[in-house]
C-alpha cells in the first residue's frame, strides 16, 4: 500500500467515527475476563458520583442555614440516622462522613481500575510484541521501525489512559451532568433554563476554537517530529557530519525546523488566549446572570437561601463536568485511534512459529536435518516489486556437509537466495527441498533451528559479550560459551577486556571493532551448532590480520556443515565444493574454481580477473 493510500485510509477512519468506534470495540475481548470487576467499578463510580452531588447539596444547606432566619426544626433522615438540617455542626458532621465514605470508594475505584487496566495492558503488550516478532520479513520491509515501536509504546500508553482515567471520568461526568441537571430543575426550573440556555453558545464556540487549536497543535507536533528526525539522522550519521564538516549545515537545518515549531505554537497560543478570554466573559457573565436572577427569586421567597447556595455550587459542578467533556472526548478519540492501530496489528497473519518451551523441547528431541538442499526451478519477486523478477528458474543441489559459494555482481540475487533458504520469503515459483522435502512443509521453528546466519555487517545487541554469544543457544552453560568463543578466535580480544565476557558491547556493538563483532557472530553460530550455515562473507571489510583470524574461524565453523557462502572476495572460496555464478537472477555457470577458470569468456573468470586488478565485483 502506498503512502498516499495509507493517508487516505487514516483520514477515512477519522471521518467515519461510528466505524472507528465499532472497530475499537474489538478490544472488549481483552476486557471480557475482567468484566465482573469492571462492573463493580462502574457501580462504585455511580455511588461516588451520587455522593458528590449529595455533598454539593449539603454545602448549599450549610451556607444557607447561616443566612436565613431561625425556622422550625427540619429533621431529615440519612441512612437511618436523624440529622437536624438547621444545625451547622450536624450538617458539617454529615459532610465529613460522606466525604470519608467517598474517599474510601475513590481509592477502591482507582485501585480496581488500575488493576484491571494493568492486566489488560500486560496481555495486550505481550500479544502485540509477539505478533510483530512473528510477522514475515515482507511486513518489516514495508514498515518503519519507529512506527512499530510507536504501536507498542505510544499507542498502548494511550489505550492505558483510556481504561485508567478517560472512560471512568466520562462515566462520572455524565452521571454528574444528568443528576445535577435533574437536581437543578428541582430547585428552580427558571434558573436551570437560563443556565442551560448558555450551553449551546458555549459548545458551538468551543467546537470552533477547538478545531483550530487542534489543527495548530497537530502541525506543531508534526514539526516537533520533523525536528526529532533531524536530531536522529544527525546523531546516527555523526561521523558523516563531522567528516564533511557539516555541523553548521545541520545546526541551520535544525534551527529552521524549531523556528517553525515556535511559529505554529504562537498561533496556537493566540487562539487559546482568545478562547480563554471568551470563557472569562461568557461564563462569568452567565454566572452573574444566574446570581442576579437567583437573588431576585430569593427576595420573592420563591427560592430558599440554602437552595440558592446549592444551586450555585451544583451549577459550577455541572458546568465543570460539561467543560471537561471536550478534553475527555479528545483523549477518547486518540485512544480509539490507538486501539484501532493495535487491533489491526493483532489481526495480521503472522508466520506459523511456535514460541513456547514445550515446542523447543519437542524440536530438540526430533531427528535433525542432514542439510541436503535442492533448488528446483526457483523464481522469486518481492511482493512490493512484483514487476521485477529477482531470481529466475534457478536449479542446483547442495549435498549435505558440502560448501557451495554464490558469486555474482551486486543485484544478481545472491542475498535473496540466502533469504529463501532461511525461509524469510517463499518462492514465487518452484521449490526449495530440504532433505528431499519441500521447505514449506517443515515447521518454521524446526527448520530455522538447524540454521545459522553470519552476515557481512554484524549488528550485536546492546548487552554483554556473553549475552550476544549466548543468543545462539540461550540455554548454554558457561563452558559451552567459552568453547564457542575460543573456536571463533574471540578469546584473544575478550581476555584483554577487564570485564571479559561481561564487557558491554554498546548499541549495535559499536564499542567493538568490525573484526571483533564478526568473531562474536561466529561464536554465536558455533554455539547454535547448525546443520546449515549461511555466510554473507564476513571478511570483505576487514584488515589483513582481522581477515586472517575471521577466515580461520569460518573455516572451522564450516567443517562438516552444509555451507552456503555469499562470496565477495573470490580468493576465499577457491576450495568450495561448488561455485554458483549468478547474473541478473539466473544461474550462468556452475563448477569448482579450477573448472570455471578454464571457461573461455566465462563470467567467473571475468570476475576473477577484475578482482585481480583490485576492482569490486559485488556487495
pLDDT digits (tens, 9 = 90+) for 423-451: 988 999 999 999 989 999 888 888 888 89
Say if CB 488 and CB 526 are below 8 A apart. yes
Sheet holding 391-398, edge to edge: 391-398, 373-380, 429-434, 437-438
Residues 470-494: tens digit of each pLDDT: 888 888 899 999 999 988 888 888 8
**What is the reported pTM?**
0.73
Residues 230-277: tens digit of each pLDDT: 887 788 778 788 877 888 888 998 898 888 888 888 888 888 788 778
CATH number of 401-422+450-612: 3.40.50.300
Report the pLDDT averaged over residues 568-585.
Answer: 85
Query: Per-residue confidence at 1, pLDDT binned at 50, 70, 90?
Result: very low
Among the listed residues 582, 258, 220, 249, the one whose alpha carbon sits nearest the alpha carbon of residue 389: 582
Q: What is the mean pLDDT of the chain?
A: 80
Q: What is the domain partition of the chain in residue ranges?
A: 10-187+330-351, 189-302, 401-422+450-612
What contacts 24+ positions apart, CB below 8 Å, involve 219-228?
219/264, 220/261, 220/264, 220/265, 220/268, 223/257, 223/258, 223/260, 223/261, 223/264, 224/261, 226/257, 227/254, 227/257, 227/258, 227/261
CA distance 195 to 443: 69
Name the CATH architecture for the domain at 10-187+330-351: Up-down Bundle (1.20)
CA distance 452 to 530: 6
Find the radius of gyration of the CA atoms of the chain.
Answer: 36
Among the listed residues 618, 566, 568, 576, the one whose alpha carbon sits nearest the alpha carbon of residue 597: 576
User: Residue 282: what pLDDT?
Assistant: 76
Instruction: Output the nine-digit C-alpha cell for 589.
Output: 555457470
CA 518 to chain centre: 30
The H helix count followed by the E strand count for the chain is 23, 12
CA distance 380 to 300: 90
* Most confidently modeled range among 164-168, 284-288, 334-338, 373-377: 373-377
Amino acid at each position: 500500500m502506498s503512502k498516499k493510500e495509507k493517508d487516505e485510509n487514516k483520514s477515512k477512519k477519522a471521518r467515519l467515527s461510528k466505524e472507528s468506534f465499532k472497530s475499537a470495540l474489538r478490544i472488549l475481548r481483552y476486557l471480557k475476563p475482567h468484566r465482573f470487576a469492571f462492573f463493580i467499578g462502574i457501580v462504585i463510580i455511580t455511588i461516588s458520583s451520587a455522593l458528590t452531588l449529595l455533598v454539593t447539596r449539603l454545602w448549599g444547606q450549610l451556607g444557607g442555614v447561616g443566612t436565613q432566619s431561625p425556622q422550625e426544626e427540619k429533621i431529615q433522615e440519612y441512612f437511618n440516622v436523624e440529622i437536624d438540617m438547621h444545625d451547622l455542626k450536624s450538617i458539617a458532621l454529615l459532610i465529613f462522613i460522606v466525604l470519608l465514605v467517598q474517599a474510601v470508594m475513590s481509592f477502591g475505584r482507582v485501585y480496581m481500575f488500575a488493576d484491571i487496566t494493568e492486566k489488560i495492558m500486560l496481555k495486550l503488550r505481550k500479544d502485540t510484541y509477539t505478533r510483530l516478532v512473528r510477522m514475515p520479513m515482507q511486513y518489516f520491509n514495508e514498515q518503519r521501525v519507529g512506527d512499530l515501536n510507536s504501536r507498542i509504546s505510544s499507542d498502548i500508553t494511550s489505550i492505558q489512559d483510556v481504561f485508567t482515567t478517560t472512560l471512568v471520568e466520562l462515566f462520572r461526568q455524565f452521571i454528574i451532568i444528568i443528576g445535577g441537571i435533574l437536581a437543578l430543575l428541582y430547585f428552580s426550573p427558571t434558573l436551570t433554563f437560563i443556565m442551560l440556555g448558555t450551553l449551546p453558545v458555549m459548545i458551538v464556540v468551543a467546537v470552533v476554537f477547538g478545531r483550530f487549536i487542534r489543527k495548530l497543535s497537530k502541525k506543531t507536533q508534526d514539526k516537533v517530529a520533523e525536528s526529532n528526525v533531524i536530531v536522529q539522522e544527525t546523531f546516527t550519521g555523526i561521523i558523516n557530519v563531522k567528516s564533511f564538516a557539516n555541523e553548521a549545515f545541520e545546526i541551520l537545518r535544525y534551527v529552521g525546523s524549531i523556528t517553525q515549531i515556535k511559529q505554529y505554537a504562537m498561533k496556537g497560543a493566540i487562539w487559546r488566549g482568545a478562547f480563554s478570554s471568551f470563557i472569562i466573559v461568557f461564563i462569568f457573565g452567565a454566572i452573574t446572570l444566574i446570581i442576579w436572577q437567583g437573588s431576585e427569586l430569593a427576595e420573592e421567597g420563591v427560592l430558599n437561601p440554602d437552595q440558592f447556595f446549592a444551586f450555585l455550587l451544583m451549577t459550577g459542578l455541572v458546568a465543570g463536568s460539561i467543560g471537561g467533556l471536550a478534553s475527555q472526548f479528545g483523549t477518547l478519540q486518540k485512544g480509539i485511534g490507538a486501539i484501532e492501530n493495535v487491533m489491526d496489528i493483532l489481526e495480521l497473519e503472522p508466520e506459523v512459529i511456535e514460541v513456547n518451551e514445550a515446542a523447543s523441547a519437542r524440536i530438540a528431541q526430533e531427528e535433525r536435518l542432514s542439510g541436503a538442499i535442492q533448488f528446483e526451478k526457483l523464481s522469486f519477486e518481492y511482493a512490493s516489486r512484483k514487476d521485477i523478477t529477482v531470481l529466475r528458474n534457478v536449479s542446483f543441489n547442495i549435498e549435505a556437509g558440502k560448501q557451495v559459494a554464490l558469486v555474482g555482481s551486486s543485484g544478481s540475487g545472491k542475498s535473496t537466495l540466502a533469504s529463501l533458504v532461511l525461509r524469510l520469503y517463499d518462492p514465487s515459483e518452484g521449490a526449495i527441498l530440504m532433505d528431499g522435502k519441500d521447505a514449506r512443509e517443515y515447521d518454521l521453528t524446526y527448520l530455522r533451528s538447524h540454521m545459522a546466519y553470519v552476515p557481512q555487517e554484524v549488528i550485536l545487541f546492546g548487552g554483554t559479550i556473553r549475552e550476544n554469544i549466548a543468543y545462539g543457544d540461550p540455554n548454554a552453560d558457561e563452558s559451552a560459551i567459552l568453547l564457542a568463543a575460543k573456536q571463533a578466535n574471540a578469546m584473544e580480544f575478550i581476555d584483554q577486556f577487564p570485564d571479559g565476557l561481561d564487557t558491554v558491547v554498546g548499541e549495535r556493538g559499536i564499542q567493538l571493532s568490525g573484526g571483533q563483532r564478526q568473531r562474536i557472530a561466529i561464536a554465536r553460530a558455533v554455539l547454535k551448532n547448525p546443520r546449515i550455515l549461511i555466510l554473507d562473507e564476513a571478511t570483505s571489510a576487514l584488515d589483513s590480520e582481522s581477515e586472517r583470524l575471521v577466515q580461520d574461524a569460518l573455516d572451522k565453523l564450516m567443517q562438516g556443515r552444509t555451507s552456503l557462502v555469499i562470496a565477495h572476495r573470490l580468493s576465499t572460496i577457491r576450495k568450495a565444493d561448488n561455485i554458483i555464478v549468478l547474473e541478473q537472477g539466473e544461474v550462468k555457470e556452475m563448477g569448482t574454481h579450477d573448472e570455471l577458470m578454464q571457461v573461455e569468456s566465462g563470467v567467473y573468470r571475468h570476475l576473477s580477473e577484475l578482482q585481480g586488478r583490485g576492482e569490486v565485483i559485488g556487495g
